[in-house]
């Protein structure tokens, strides 16, 4: 949801059915019909006019030096940037380049934007429309998080452009209107990820946010700035004389160039004034061309020459970003509206036709800014409101709701704004992803005291959630609930009006990691709305499955998973399949079946790669799950590489538990846990999510620290989590209110801490308790870890037979699902037991168990004691040859060292020394160290190198 494409949201919010009760009027009932029409952009309305084709200037475009350089250069460069302040003819130049490219046979796409397109999702929607790329899954994915799906949409866009034949040129005008910091994602992709046949040209008043340094090195980049855009003498002369001022002398033209410093907008204004006044040269010497003089010039020289009725007309329409003759007439009530628009066009009074049929127009931004300032001092508030009300109603009648809403908020007209918002809410948030504008409009309407409708509140809540403002989203849902009660006071909470509210509440709680709330609310929603939309149902069922798995209620989790699978199988959706595969993997991996999890994830990944492409963002989420499955089956190197490639995008695009898969592999694999910088990066990634993920990461770091001998560091971390107090106190009561997943992870860390602190009896009690729980819930991976902890405990307690049996139980439990990872992580422990124990003592009889045991031995480079060479004593009895470590220990015994001294010399614990001595006595058939030394001398073991 923030930029992050949360899978649950990809599968959670597409209301595909009307939500009404009886014939009570609510715009929720009209949303489905609205949505289908809202997905396309009406190019005959102002919202579409001028966006997808260059302006049609009424005047002849003057030849400029920079344009002549393009004509002489041949094919366009890969990237062209035109950066200059307002009034330097950036759009005019790009229009000329567009004509040049079209004439050369290139396929051209034009996109003109303004400050309404402040965020990247809306820009992407417009670009997709411009290049003919339909939005994916509009009829098959639930609410698509527009921010979270950005990388995926860019992937599709790049793949689409790469398939287009011939030369392709994309023109984007006024890119500075988009203030989204993610804009560089799109521009860098267009620059570096498209073939050389795909080119783009962009205008901006600010530096273009892409990697221009890399572009200069790797490709042909043309950067055009003020120095090239300014008019020289010849260009100025051509423009003035083309406007009927052919009798101006060269001195007059030179004066214009000198006074304006070649600023095209100022030269155009002088041309207008000279054309309207009898004395063509009067006052030229007094005009400096500076910005501060521009408004004065307009007021004194241009506006003063207009008919007063025209001036009033200009003041009335100044607040209209764009206008047609019909809109201007309806808004102003001026019977001469058509005449005045024709007058402005014929005289080129800084008016720009926006469409091919010259139906819609806009003023040059500098001229409009002046008109707004001038109108503020002359037009009464009543007249302004009257004009905006008339314009709003005309636009509503024509279906141009976005433009109507903009004017209604400016007027202000709270009642009209509320009604229009109700119609726009769903298409703006879900279909176009225009979160920034919609959120801004809703907040403006609230400031005006407008009463928000049901759909407005619902989609406002989703827009907030997509931006990760979950608490505010929850408050908005509460407000929505109150409004529903007003509209349907007799509803028992199970009617259609409540369905989208309750579903949103479940999904918001899911992302806030309030799993108890999800488990409480999801069953009722699934029961009350069995005929809900496919993706709504799959989203809620999937969230319910994960919430149940986290609480170790796997029976319920699997029932909910089947509901999600049965729902999503009815449609073809890559995101739907990926969501269900991820839910399934979470359940399988929590119970310890990495093979089944990897199979499901691989099937989904192959389909996504086939349908969307290898670079599809959702692939990274699936890859993190596959990495965890690979690690669990012992393919550590492969898992680490998968995490390295996918973790950044996978964290951004996934949900908490898929993020945990990647972070856990990175934390616990060799070499990763030791790199403090990497750890800090992983901790930072975890903090993007709810409290559970940072808590799990800290627990994993505690266990890593203990595994690497950093006991003090581990205890410090545990004390910071309030689960431990020195010298040896584990506090399970601190875990009240935590999920079962967190409690079990904390308990495993607690057992490790107790063992490190020497509190073996407390550790044994915890091991037994947690092992019963793991067995009752079917958590195989945890069972293996606990059997290995039992093995370590038995060694520390000098119980060799108990240690062997515990390791054998771990092997039997792991063999069914090939769960190798725990044995690799506990390498020293496992090697110690295997190499000192004859094979027959493990009691393994089933072929699968024996095969898996052999796989463990191969991975660790160890073999059971019985497979090593044997020797005979003086009486002819066969004696198993001691290991090199045992020979070293016998030599230390022969030196007279006691157990603690031997432990210090060999960097072993005293219990481990005792374990080795026990094995030596068993092999040599003796009962004490004196007998062992005597037998060793007889066998000449002490003399071996």
pLDDT (tens digit per residue) in 606-652: 988 888 777 777 899 999 999 999 999 999 999 999 999 999 889 98
Q: Is the pLDDT of residue 195 over 60?
A: yes
**pLDDT on residue 132:** 86
Q: Is the pLDDT of residue 916 over 90?
A: no
**pLDDT on residue 490:** 84
**pLDDT on residue 468:** 81
C-alpha dist (Å) from residue 469 to 435, 461, 463, 502, 651: 12, 9, 9, 18, 18
Peptide bond preceding 603 in cis form (omega within 30 of 0): no
> Alpha-carbon distance 508 to 502, whole Å?
10
Q: Is the pLDDT of residue 526 over 50?
A: yes
Mean of the pLDDT values across residues 550-558? 97
Mean of the pLDDT values across residues 898-903? 85
**pLDDT on residue 220:** 83
636-653 and 150-163 are packed helices; what angle lies between their axes, rounded to 10 degrees? 100
Structure confidence at residue 885 as a pLDDT band (50, 70, 90)? confident
C-alpha dist (Å) from residue 801 to 480, 592, 791, 829, 832: 65, 27, 10, 15, 13
Q: Is the pLDDT of residue 577 over 70?
A: yes
Helix (H) or strand (E) holding 537: helix 534-550
Q: Is the pLDDT of residue 265 over 80?
A: no
C-beta of residue 865 within 8 angstroms of C-beta of residue 885 = no
**pLDDT on residue 932:** 85
DSSP assigned state of 82: E
Q: Is the pLDDT of residue 136 over 60?
A: no
Please name the residues in contact with 124: beta carbons below 8 A apart, sequence gap of 6 or more: 150, 153, 154, 157, 186, 433
Mean of the pLDDT values across residues 717-722? 94
Task: Return residue ranges of the chain for CATH 1.10.10.10.
Answer: 870-943
C-beta of residue 111 within 8 angstroms of C-beta of residue 173 = yes
pLDDT: is 312 or 368 the higher one? 312
> Alpha-carbon distance 59 to 66, whole Å?
19
> Alpha-carbon distance 722 to 716, whole Å?
10
> Alpha-carbon distance 350 to 314, whole Å?
12
Q: pLDDT of 582-591, one tens digit each?
A: 999 999 999 9
Q: pLDDT of 725-735, one tens digit each?
A: 988 789 999 99
**pLDDT on residue 933:** 86
Mean of the pLDDT values across residues 384-401? 95
**pLDDT on residue 814:** 96
* Residue tagged 């560091």 (tokens): 713
> Alpha-carbon distance 127 to 142, whole Å?
22
C-alpha dist (Å) from residue 169 to 94, 97, 107, 195, 417: 12, 10, 6, 12, 39
Structural class in CATH, domain 65-230: alpha beta
Structure confidence at residue 707 as a pLDDT band (50, 70, 90)? confident
| Cα 461 from chain centre | 18
Mean residue pLDDT of the chain comes to 84
Q: Which of 564-568, 848-852, 857-861, 906-910 has the lowest mean pLDDT?
A: 906-910
pLDDT: is 310 or 921 the higher one? 310
**pLDDT on residue 523:** 98
Structure confidence at residue 945 as a pLDDT band (50, 70, 90)? very low
Q: Which two tokens stand for residue 446?
A: 């609230």
Helix, strand, coil abundance in the chain, percent, nearest 5? 65, 5, 30
C-alpha dist (Å) from residue 560 to 513, 540, 566: 18, 9, 10
Dihedral sign for Cα atoms in the order 732, 734, 740, 745: negative
> Alpha-carbon distance 854 to 850, whole Å?
6
pLDDT: is 832 or 234 the higher one? 832
Tell me which residue of 559, 564, 599, 563 sits closest to 580, measured CA to CA.
564
Tell me which residue of 913, 896, 895 sits closest to 904, measured CA to CA.
913
> Alpha-carbon distance 864 to 122, whole Å?
65
> Alpha-carbon distance 771 to 793, whole Å?
14
Q: Which of 97-101, 512-516, 539-543, 796-800 has the lowest mean pLDDT?
A: 796-800
Q: Is the pLDDT of residue 39 over 50?
A: no
Q: Which of 231-245, 258-272, 414-428 has the lowest mean pLDDT?
A: 258-272
C-beta of residue 555 within 8 angstroms of C-beta of residue 544 = no
**pLDDT on residue 269:** 72
Helix (H, G, I), strand (E, B) or coil at 203: strand
Mean of the pLDDT values across residues 321-331? 94
> Alpha-carbon distance 401 to 410, whole Å?
14
> What is the total residue count of the chain?
945
Q: pLDDT of 394-411, one tens digit each?
A: 999 998 998 999 999 999
> Alpha-carbon distance 44 to 575, whole Å?
34
**pLDDT on residue 608:** 86
Mean of the pLDDT values across residues 874-901? 75
Q: Is the pLDDT of residue 81 over 80?
A: yes
Cβ neighbourhood burial of 134 (10 Å; 0-12, 13-18, 19+): exposed
Q: Is the pLDDT of residue 140 over 60?
A: no
Q: How many CB atoms lie within 10 A of CB 687?
A: 12
Q: Is the pLDDT of residue 284 over 60?
A: no
Mean of the pLDDT values across residues 751-756? 93
DSSP assigned state of 428: I
Helix (H) or strand (E) holding 173: strand 168-173
Q: Is the pLDDT of residue 27 over 80?
A: no
Range list of H helices, 56-211:
65-73, 90-103, 120-130, 150-163, 183-192
pLDDT: is 326 or 37 the higher one? 326
Mean of the pLDDT values across residues 196-207? 93
Q: How many CB atoms lie within 10 A of CB 814?
A: 29
Mean of the pLDDT values across residues 11-22? 38
C-beta of residue 771 within 8 angstroms of C-beta of residue 783 = yes
Q: How large is the C-alpha radius of gyration of the chain?
A: 37
Dihedral Cα 37, 43, 45, 48, nearest 10 deg: 100
Q: Is the pLDDT of residue 206 over 70?
A: yes
DSSP assigned state of 238: H
**Fold type of domain 870-943:** Arc Repressor Mutant, subunit A (1.10.10)
Mean of the pLDDT values across residues 757-780? 94
Mean of the pLDDT values across residues 903-921? 78
Structure confidence at residue 259 as a pLDDT band (50, 70, 90)? low
Task: Return residue ranges of the chain for CATH 3.40.50.300.
Answer: 65-230
Structure confidence at residue 667 as a pLDDT band (50, 70, 90)? confident
Mean of the pLDDT values across residues 409-422? 96
pTM of the model: 0.74
**pLDDT on residue 919:** 77
Q: Is the pLDDT of residue 43 over 70?
A: no
Dihedral Cα 474, 479, 481, 483, nearest 10 deg: -160
Dihedral Cα 627, 631, 634, 640, nearest 10 deg: 70
Query: Hey, what long-range contacts does 821-824 have (CB within 8 A, 24 or more apart)?
Result: 821/631, 821/632, 821/633, 821/634, 821/636, 821/781, 822/781, 822/784, 822/785, 822/788, 823/634, 823/784, 823/788, 823/856, 823/859, 823/860, 824/634, 824/636, 824/859, 824/860
Percent of the chain, pLDDT > 70?
86
> Alpha-carbon distance 944 to 101, whole Å?
86
């Amino acid at each position: 949801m923030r930029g992050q494409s949360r899978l649950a949201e990809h599968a959670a919010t597409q209301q595909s059915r009307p939500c009404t009760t009886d014939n009570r009027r609510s715009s929720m009932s009209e949303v489905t019909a609205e949505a289908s029409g809202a997905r396309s952009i009406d190019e005959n309305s102002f919202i579409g006019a001028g966006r997808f084709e260059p302006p049609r200037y009424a005047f002849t475009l003057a030849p400029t030096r920079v344009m002549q350089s393009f004509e002489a250069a041949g094919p366009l460069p890969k990237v062209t940037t035109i950066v200059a302040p307002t009034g330097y003819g950036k759009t005019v130049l790009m229009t000329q380049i567009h004509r040049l490219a079209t004439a050369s046979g290139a396929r051209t796409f034009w996109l003109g934007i303004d400050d309404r397109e402040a965020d990247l999702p809306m820009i992407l929607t417009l670009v997709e429309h411009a290049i003919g790329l339909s939005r994916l899954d509009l009829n098959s994915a639930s609410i698509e998080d527009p921010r979270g799906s950005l990388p995926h949409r860019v992937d599709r866009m790049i793949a689409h452009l790469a398939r287009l034949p011939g030369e392709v040129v994309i023109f984007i005008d006024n890119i500075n209107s988009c203030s989204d910091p993610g804009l560089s994602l799109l521009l860098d992709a267009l620059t570096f990820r498209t073939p050389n046949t795909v080119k783009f040209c962009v205008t901006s008043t600010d530096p273009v946010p892409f990697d221009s340094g890399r572009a200069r090195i790797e490709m042909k980049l043309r950067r055009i700035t003020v120095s090239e855009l300014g008019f020289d003498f010849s260009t100025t002369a051509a423009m003035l004389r083309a406007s009927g001022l052919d009798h101006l002398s060269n001195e007059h033209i030179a004066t214009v160039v000198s006074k304006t410093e070649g600023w095209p907008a100022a030269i155009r204004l002088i041309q207008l004034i000279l054309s309207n006044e009898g004395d063509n040269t009067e006052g030229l010497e007094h005009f400096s061309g500076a910005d501060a003089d521009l408004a004065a010039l307009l007021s004194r020289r241009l506006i003063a020459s207009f008919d007063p009725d025209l001036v009033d007309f200009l003041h009335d329409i100044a607040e209209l970003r764009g206008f047609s003759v019909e809109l201007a007439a309806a808004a102003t009530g001026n019977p001469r509206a058509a005449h005045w628009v024709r007058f402005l066009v014929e005289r080129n009074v800084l008016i720009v036709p926006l469409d091919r049929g010259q139906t819609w127009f806009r003023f040059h931004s500098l001229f409009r800014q002046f008109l707004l300032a001038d109108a503020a001092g002359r037009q009464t508030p009543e007249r302004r409101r009257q004009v905006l009300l008339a314009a709003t109603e005309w636009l509503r009648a024509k279906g141009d709701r976005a433009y109507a809403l903009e004017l209604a908020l400016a007027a202000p007209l709270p009642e009209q704004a509320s009604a229009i918002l109700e119609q726009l809410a769903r298409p703006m948030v879900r279909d176009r992803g225009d979160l920034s504008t919609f959120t801004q409009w809703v907040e403006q309407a609230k400031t005006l005291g407008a009463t928000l409708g049901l759909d407005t509140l619902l989609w406002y809540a989703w827009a907030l959630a997509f931006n990760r403002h979950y608490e505010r989203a929850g408050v908005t849902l509460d407000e929505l609930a109150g409004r529903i009660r007003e509209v349907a006071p007799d509803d028992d909470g199970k009617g259609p009006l409540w369905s989208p509210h309750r579903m949103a509440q479940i999904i918001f709680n899911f992302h806030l990691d309030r799993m108890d709330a999800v488990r409480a609310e999801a069953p009722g929603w699934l029961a009350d709305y069995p005929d809900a939309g496919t993706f709504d149902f799959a989203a809620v069922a999937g969230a319910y499955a994960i919430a149940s798995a986290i609480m170790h209620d796997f029976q319920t989790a699997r029932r909910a998973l089947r509901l999600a699978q049965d729902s999503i199988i009815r449609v073809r959706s890559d995101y739907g399949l990926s969501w269900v595969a991820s839910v399934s993997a979470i359940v399988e991996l929590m119970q310890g079946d990495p093979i089944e999890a990897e199979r499901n994830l691989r099937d989904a990944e192959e389909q996504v790669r086939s349908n969307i492409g290898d670079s599809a963002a959702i692939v990274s989420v699936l890859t993190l799950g596959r990495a965890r499955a690979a690690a669990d089956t012992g393919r550590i190197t492969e898992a680490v590489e998968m995490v390295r490639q996918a973790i950044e995008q996978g964290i951004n695009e996934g949900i908490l538990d898929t993020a945990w898969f990647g972070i856990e592999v990175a934390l616990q694999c060799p070499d990763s846990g030791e790199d403090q910088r990497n750890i800090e990066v992983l901790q930072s990634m975890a903090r993007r999510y709810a409290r559970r993920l940072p808590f799990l990461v800290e627990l994993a770091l505690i266990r890593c620290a203990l595994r690497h001998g950093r006991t003090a560091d581990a205890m410090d971390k545990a004390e910071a989590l309030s689960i431990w107090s020195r010298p040896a106190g584990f506090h399970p009561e601190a875990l009240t209110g935590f999920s079962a997943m967190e409690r079990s992870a904390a308990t495993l860390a607690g057992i490790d801490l107790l063992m490190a602190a020497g509190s073996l009896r407390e550790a044994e009690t915890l091991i037994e308790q947690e092992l019963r729980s793991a067995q009752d819930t079917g958590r195989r991976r945890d069972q293996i870890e606990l059997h290995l902890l039992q093995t370590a405990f038995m060694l520390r307690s000098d119980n060799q037979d108990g240690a062997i049996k515990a390791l054998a139980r771990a092997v039997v439990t792991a063999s069914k699902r090939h769960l190798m990872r725990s044995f690799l992580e506990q390498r020293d422990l496992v090697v110690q037991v295997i190499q000192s124990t004859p094979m027959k003592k493990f009691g393994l009889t089933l072929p699968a168990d024996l095969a898996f045991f052999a796989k463990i031995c191969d991975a660790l480079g160890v073999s059971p004691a019985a497979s090593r060479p044997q020797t005979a004593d003086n009486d002819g009895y066969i004696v198993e040859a001691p290991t090199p470590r045992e020979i070293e220990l016998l030599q230390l015994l022969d030196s007279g060292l006691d157990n603690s001294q031997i432990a210090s010399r060999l960097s072993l614990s005293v219990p481990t020394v005792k374990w080795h001595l026990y094995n030596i006595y068993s092999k040599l058939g003796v009962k004490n160290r004196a007998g062992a030394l005597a037998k060793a001398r007889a066998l000449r073991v002490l003399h071996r190198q």
